[in-house]
Structure 1
Amino acid sequence: MATHTEKDDHYLSEKNDFDLNEKGLQADGDVDLKEEQENSPIEAVAASVPITDDPTLPVITFRFWILSFIFTALGAVIQQYYFFRTVSGNYSIFFVNLVTYSLGKGMARILPSNKLTIGTYSLSFNPGPFNIKEHAMIGIAVSSGAGAAYAIDILSATDIFLDYRINAFGSLIMIITTQCVGYGMAGMLRKYLVYPAEMVWWSNLVQVVFYNTMHNTDDFKRIRLVRGWSRMKFFWVVASCCFFYQLLPQWIAPILVYFDWVCWLRPFDKNFWALFGSTSGSAGILSLSFDWSSIGGATMYLPLAAQLSSLGGIILNYWIIVPIMWMNNILGTKTMGRPLSSKLFYEDGTQFKINGVLKDDYSVDWDKYNAGKEANMAPLYALGFMTSFIALAGCCSHVAFFHGAELWASWKRVVGADDEDIHTKMMKVYPEVPQYWYAIFYVVMAGLACAVCEIYNTQLPWWALLLALFVGWVLTLPIGVMNAVTGYGPGLNVITELICGYILPGKPIANMTFKCYGYMAMYQCNFLLSDLKLGHYMKIPPRCMFVGQLWGTLVGSVFNYLTMILIINSHRAYLKGDPKTADPNGLWTGNRWVLSKKFPQVGWSKVNVAIIAGGMGSFPNGYAVGVVSSLVCALVFQGYLRRFHKNWWSKYVFILSAALDTGAAFTGLLIFLFLGGGLDPKIAVNIPSWWGNYRTDNVTLAEDYGANYPYIDVNRCGAADPAMWEEGSLLKH
């Protein structure tokens, strides 16, 4: 669920602990498959997805409408809130599933069985016990909408940096169309990317096991954890502890977010600040973070090889390449004032201000631009673009080299296969969604998108929008196959930027809009295809899926927009990045809108160049937070506990990670709405300035702080007043 990033749903069941390697075909132990019954040809699917179904279970119920609305809205607010923060949090779908299970059961006990009738439509308040399909449908609806909408990039960037705000109606249509255009594509591609057995979508298997464990067995209620606690009690105790702990780094002592201990060795050395600090464009080498939001529960259960590849890319780029370029001033890196920056600069290092060279329609006035100095991209930000292309090419080559044969075999079975998957056969009992429903929906969304681009000043003509959608169409099918079969696929954000930059140069809003529609068409399509496969495994009627996914997307879009407006109105000065009004604690940012055959025993298939390159481009905006802490967490949980204490790992890790993520998410929500003045600035509560949060607002610096003056910036690198710096030491007075 996305700033926009991929879903982190990869938790496993305590009951069936499968070790899915990249092929996803290997189990930890012998699996007793029911040979006497027809089953999936994929071993892991056969072992984890039941071949039973009860078509009489209600799915779209009153409980579904209420619970899906609440948790979709909550997730959209939390994820959109974190979009504007320097560190990201996670709205755990595991938390949603746990809480909606309890609430659904409670509603089944207390609600009356009366019916709500509107015309010919009738809906019972309580159709009976809270069932597994109803539960899964709530999770799917929440998954569809509880993220940070990608279109917020466009709307917030134009509002914050160009002082141009698209009105509420246009903004909502833009958000909805970018979120929904991929939905129409997903429906039309489902027979290729959902129905065949080979299209597994591996992350869904653990959810299937989880739902079935909760509803079909008593294990969930019977198993006891530490001190004899139930899993639910353990979850809430850990989440509560994390909630209160997170008040320390997020509110009381932000120094715990950016614990740049190396800077303390030479706190007045500019080179130390540039390389060992973790804020304001520094590289964050060896920096620690005690903020769970910057670590995340995914480090406890994602495959260790993938995590090491990503963290290895981060270390290669930010701990090796950045110091080399900075210390040798390669390509004028030092001229920009800081190693990492997404901004543009003149050759002398002063920041380029685009407003001075824009026309009234916000396109570049080339006469004004050519009359002045040339703007340059920061060298290391340009390097980030290069790593994005490496990631795209690396993904394709990795899949070709290590999965090419099976991909080709799978594709031949997908197209025109006579033998259907057992789960596809079982789904025939339900009325199918006609293909033209999705086709009409896609055409309507594309038409509304064209209208938004033409009516509002997006600089993107209708024909360019159609080109963006075409790019998404062309690449969605092969990328979808990669995602379904291997669990990984490349993104299109950089490619779409390149195409639009070529056909519409000098139009920044057009570039963001083109990228948003081209990239999101593919991304959202794959996201929704994965959920369609989950519904396929759970035997949810296709027409219920159509309604549920659309409902979640619409609810999430509305709350994404409302949250964006609330945050921009209350933190505009911080988000603009003006040094005179900078966030004293460094927690708000507006920067996110811009960026084997010879030695088979080595296991080269686990060395994924695409993931390494993705790690190299992780921090283009200059907030290199949580690298060491994430590495330690991954090694402890995935490297040590899973290998040497697997029973403990499988029993605790997923509920522990979900509880920690949930507690941290609610802390962020509390700070945003109340302590931070999100609802009303009058109710904001600011912690007084002290050693853990030295604030630079409303103080007279040296007069108020005396000897502590050089240290008042939260990262303790003596950067409170950059004018005091020279190359290697503090200027002497």
Structure 2
Amino acid sequence: MSEKHDFENSCVEKADIADEVSLEETEPENSKIEAVRLVVPLTDDPSLIAMTFRFWVLTTFFSILGAATEQYYFFRASKGNFSIYFVNLASYGIGTFMARTLPTKKWTVFGHTFSLNPGPFNIKEHALIGIGTSAAAGSAYAMYTLSVMDLMLQHRINALGSMLLIITTQCLGYGMAGALRKYLVYPGEMVWWPTLVQVVFYNAMHNTDEFRNKKMIRGWSYMKYFWVFCGGMFLYQFIPQLFAPMLMYFDWICWIKPFDYNYWALFSSMAGGGAGILSLTFDWSAIGGSNMWMPLSTQLLGYAGVILSYWIIFPIIWLNNIYDAKIFKAALSPSLFYMNGTRFKINSVLNPDFTLNEEKYAANGPVTMTPMYALIFLYSFIALGSCVTHILCFHGAEMWRTWKSAIKSTDEDIHQKMMKIYPEVPQMWYAILYVAMLALSMLTVEVYDLQLPWYGLLFAAAIAWCLTLPIGAMVAITGTGPGLNVITQLLCGFLFPGKVIANMTFKCYGYMAMWQCHKLLEDLKLGVYMKIPPRAMFVAQLWGACVGAVFNYIVMIIIIDIKRPFLDGSVQDPSGLWTGASPQVYWGSGLIYGALGPARMFGKSSQYHFIYWGFLIGAILPVIQWVLTKKFPSVKWSALNITLIAGGMSLYPAGLVIGVICGLAVCIIWQWWLFRYHKNWWSKYTFILSAALDTGAAFTGLFLFLFLQGGLHPKLVFNMPSWLMNYYTPENDNAPYLGVNRCGAAGHQWQSGMLEK
């Protein structure tokens, strides 16, 4: 896709800046891929030790920090980011300090000799820390299922069952990777494009003289530059996150008519509000540093989808009350409602085993949803269908040639040849891991009453096996590919209707098996480029996944126990910061596909039966583009990627449409103006500045939760006094306003804009 070519061009432009090893034209053998030749050096030092005492200490530390930070933001309105660039920079500084100060004495334990300080902090050790941390620094997908069960069903399975669910879903795909590495890692054509950015970063830092002598503004070193801007953002974020929450939801147009129902629906961006048209935000975690370096075309198409969906289609639906949009009193909500607009409470129609009681459901009447939430499913189906046909139409021939060349070629990739001096991970290790995780998965679903029978789990695993190889080839070669979350939920909805927990569990195992397999394969490719011993890679990945699982769970339990009323939707957070939007969206789709079933929600008798046309629409549009390309070859029709546009259209299923204007402004400034007219400046500062800002913002959120919002102790709670930018009444009902953004009437006591009675 176009992202691949953008990346190839950026690699060429950044080659000198990154100080990678340049190759002579007379080099006898090199990679077949130009971007790889420009970025990945043909050098290796087998004497460097990757798995050291420093690795274990730093990987564990950053894994805990990353897992806790990401899980914290899982429940927040704005999504912070634990940047891997921060890990790379911080671990470099700490690692070199440890290399200078730790004792070099050698120890012998059970015949094995080791040292706490085997020598200088080296590039392989550094890269392995980043790889291990990346396996942990996220919110495990199983946290959706566990948090939804806890918040919406008041059903918390014990710690052992929770840990088994998290670890098995995280590690099942790792076992699959062993069988697929021959096809998706070893061939040189399987590039896995994001790894090249990491290769540039590590080689730039460990080109010691250049890195130490490289000066930023005011003669600052790389590390000083990072920490200055990280610290500045850390302090700044206290303003929108604590002192003035209105700066997160700066819905200025809504102030014209704050008690008008239509203005609230169109211009409010706060939770439970509307489309946030022309809304501003001054919270960096709502903007994100990725706007500074993601390909311009990718971002513009995504923002075009957001504007088309929320600024054009939604106003038409709302103002004309299409599908009774105004009756729900929640313009953008992932919740389900009865036909009269009251919120559907699933607990009242469930059996004791959490399956749907058909008689109780029929007695209460049919359930529906907001029109925009229904359209989210349509857009998702369009994205999935268009992704497949776009790849086939515009990259199919190229992929097929590449695939045949990779499989049939007797010329082994030069980097894979260089890896042969290291012992490979035996196939049996992966097989044992997979069988163990599959057995534990079946034990988990059967013992802990997750409604999914063991054969249902095997079917989810079979889906992952069937699709991981072809989709993995797409991702490795082109840089993009579809996920299995929609397909798995849809299939499970037909197989096990009325079982919401089964649907969420099936989706979790089927989707994550493929995703985690691709994640490990991508890191294995990074290991090949960095010449890290495969067995060290195997251990690092598993260690990071396990550490991350433990601290994801701990942080989830702490936050739910403290913030439950805000997260389950029973009480609105006056600051608008705690919404539980992510689990509520997951719960909404779980209700639709699981408890009620796609046959009931999207069948012929449903008013939303049209969403299935999304598959056909998505499949046809790229074909039309391909035909136009043949007829008008001077126009690059493939650049109009339907998948990216549809992805933008479905980007905010729970509302909170914040950061659009400011994010787009950052994108245009960095990816168009600076990249085009000040390319040297862009290349020198963009990645490190992005990492510094994201890291500072993430640390602010974590600090506030631990020390000012009861994270460490219930007494450590500070409530910011009410003032202009943090307005609320003593009763906490925010009368006469709905939220700190001063947009919307409390209690829905509107002065105008309502339907005529």
Segment of structure 1 superposing worse, 395-404 or 269-278: 395-404
In 2, are the aligned partners of 1:72 and 1:555 still within 8 Å (CA)?
yes
Aligned positions of 1:482-631 closer than 5 A = 482-578=474-570, 581-593=571-583, 594=586, 596-631=629-664
| Residue aligning to 1:316 | 308
In 1, are the aligned partners of 2:64 and 2:547 still within 8 Å (CA)?
yes
- Say if 1:366 and 1:165 are closer, same or farther in 2 by CA, change over 3 A: same
- Say if 1:494 and 1:171 are closer, same or farther in 2 by CA, change over 3 A: same
| Residue aligning to 2:707 | 674
Instruction: Give the Cα–Cα distance (whole angstroms) in 2 for the partners of residues 125 and 730 of structure 1.
Output: 76
- Say if 1:545 and 1:329 are closer, same or farther in 2 by CA, change over 3 A: same
- Say if 1:91 and 1:186 are closer, same or farther in 2 by CA, change over 3 A: same
Amino acid at match of 2:134: S
In 1, are the aligned partners of 2:576 and 2:739 still within 8 Å (CA)?
no
Amino acid at match of 1:628: I
Instruction: Give the Cα–Cα distance (whole angstroms) in 2 for the partners of residues 33 and 462 of structure 1.
Output: 57
State the SS of the aligned residue for 1:376.
strand
1:203-229: CA deviation from partner (whole Å, max 9, x where unpaired): 111211111111134222212111111
Instruction: Give the Cα–Cα distance (whole angstroms) in 2 for the partners of residues 467 and 57 of structure 1.
Output: 44
Instruction: Give the Cα–Cα distance (whole angstroms) in 2 for the partners of residues 571 and 459 of structure 1.
Output: 28
Instruction: Give the Cα–Cα distance (whole angstroms) in 2 for the partners of residues 25 and 130 of structure 1.
Output: 29
Instruction: Give the Cα–Cα distance (whole angstroms) in 2 for the partners of residues 243 and 590 of structure 1.
Output: 23
| Residue aligning to 2:693 | 660
The alpha-carbon deviation at position 413 of structure 1 amounts to 1.8
State the SS of the aligned residue for 1:145.
coil
Aligned positions of 1:298-317 closer than 5 A = 298-317=290-309
Amino acid at match of 1:267: P
| Residue aligning to 1:721 | 747
In 2, are the aligned partners of 1:193 and 1:199 still within 8 Å (CA)?
yes
| Residue aligning to 1:126 | 117
In 2, are the aligned partners of 1:33 and 1:46 still within 8 Å (CA)?
no
Query: Does 1:274 pair with 2:265?
Result: yes
- Say if 1:217 and 1:187 are closer, same or farther in 2 by CA, change over 3 A: same
| Residue aligning to 2:442 | 450
- Say if 1:363 and 1:129 are closer, same or farther in 2 by CA, change over 3 A: same
Which of the residues 339, 343, 361 maps onto 2:353? 361
Query: Does 1:408 pair with 2:386?
Result: no
Instruction: Give the Cα–Cα distance (whole angstroms) in 2 for the partners of residues 285 and 242 of structure 1.
Output: 27
Which of the residues 288, 295, 306 maps onto 1:296? 288
| Residue aligning to 2:68 | 77
Instruction: Give the Cα–Cα distance (whole angstroms) in 2 for the partners of residues 110 and 567 of structure 1.
Output: 38
The alpha-carbon deviation at position 684 of structure 1 amounts to 1.2
| Residue aligning to 1:466 | 458
State the SS of the aligned residue for 1:21.
helix
Instruction: Give the Cα–Cα distance (whole angstroms) in 1 for the partners of residues 753 and 405 of structure 2.
Output: 64
Aligned positions of 1:318-333 closer than 5 A = 318-333=310-325
Instruction: Give the Cα–Cα distance (whole angstroms) in 1 for the partners of residues 330 and 115 of structure 2.
Output: 61
Amino acid at match of 1:219: E
Amino acid at match of 1:274: A
State the SS of the aligned residue for 1:186.
helix
Question: Which structure 2 segments of 5+ residues have no match?
Answer: 16-21, 590-628
In 1, are the aligned partners of 2:266 and 2:276 still within 8 Å (CA)?
yes
Which of the residues 81, 89, 92 maps onto 2:83? 92
In 2, are the aligned partners of 1:174 and 1:452 still within 8 Å (CA)?
yes
Amino acid at match of 1:630: G
Which of the residues 141, 153, 169 maps onto 2:160? 169
| Residue aligning to 1:151 | 142
Instruction: Give the Cα–Cα distance (whole angstroms) in 2 for the partners of residues 427 and 597 of structure 1.
Output: 43
Percent identical across equivalent pairs? 57
Amino acid at match of 2:127: A
1:125-172: CA deviation from partner (whole Å, max 9, x where unpaired): 000111000000000000111100100011000101111001000000
1:337-374: CA deviation from partner (whole Å, max 9, x where unpaired): 12211100011100000000001011111111112211
Instruction: Give the Cα–Cα distance (whole angstroms) in 1 for the partners of residues 634 and 134 of structure 2.
Output: 39
The alpha-carbon deviation at position 606 of structure 1 amounts to 2.2
Instruction: Give the Cα–Cα distance (whole angstroms) in 1 for the partners of residues 649 and 458 of structure 2.
Output: 32
In 1, are the aligned partners of 2:738 and 2:747 still within 8 Å (CA)?
no
The alpha-carbon deviation at position 281 of structure 1 amounts to 3.8
C-alpha root-mean-square deviation of aligned residues, in Å? 2.0
State the SS of the aligned residue for 1:88.
coil
In 1, are the aligned partners of 2:185 and 2:525 still within 8 Å (CA)?
yes
Aligned length: 706
The alpha-carbon deviation at position 267 of structure 1 amounts to 1.3
In 1, are the aligned partners of 2:187 and 2:407 still within 8 Å (CA)?
no
Question: Which structure 1 segments of 5+ residues have no match?
Answer: 1-17, 702-708
In 1, are the aligned partners of 2:166 and 2:549 still within 8 Å (CA)?
yes
State the SS of the aligned residue for 2:503.
helix
Amino acid at match of 1:713: G
Aligned positions of 1:9-408 closer than 5 A = 20-21=5-6, 27-28=12-13, 33-279=24-270, 280-408=272-400
Query: Does 1:641 pair with 2:674?
Result: yes
State the SS of the aligned residue for 2:515.
helix
Instruction: Give the Cα–Cα distance (whole angstroms) in 2 for the partners of residues 245 and 26 of structure 1.
Output: 33
The alpha-carbon deviation at position 28 of structure 1 amounts to 4.2
The alpha-carbon deviation at position 442 of structure 1 amounts to 0.7
State the SS of the aligned residue for 1:345.
strand
Instruction: Give the Cα–Cα distance (whole angstroms) in 1 for the partners of residues 646 and 511 of structure 2.
Output: 19
State the SS of the aligned residue for 1:232.
helix
| Residue aligning to 2:430 | 438
TM-score w.r.t. the length of structure 1 is 0.94
State the SS of the aligned residue for 1:715.
coil
The alpha-carbon deviation at position 417 of structure 1 amounts to 2.3
Amino acid at match of 1:66: V
The alpha-carbon deviation at position 721 of structure 1 amounts to 2.6
Amino acid at match of 1:238: F
- Say if 1:651 and 1:23 are closer, same or farther in 2 by CA, change over 3 A: closer
In 2, are the aligned partners of 1:182 and 1:520 still within 8 Å (CA)?
yes
In 2, are the aligned partners of 1:24 and 1:202 still within 8 Å (CA)?
no
The alpha-carbon deviation at position 21 of structure 1 amounts to 2.2
| Residue aligning to 2:617 | none
The alpha-carbon deviation at position 645 of structure 1 amounts to 0.7
State the SS of the aligned residue for 1:126.
coil
Amino acid at match of 1:638: Q
Instruction: Give the Cα–Cα distance (whole angstroms) in 2 for the partners of residues 463 and 69 of structure 1.
Output: 36
In 1, are the aligned partners of 2:267 and 2:276 still within 8 Å (CA)?
yes
Instruction: Give the Cα–Cα distance (whole angstroms) in 2 for the partners of residues 68 and 697 of structure 1.
Output: 46
| Residue aligning to 2:593 | none
Amino acid at match of 1:376: T
The alpha-carbon deviation at position 22 of structure 1 amounts to 6.6
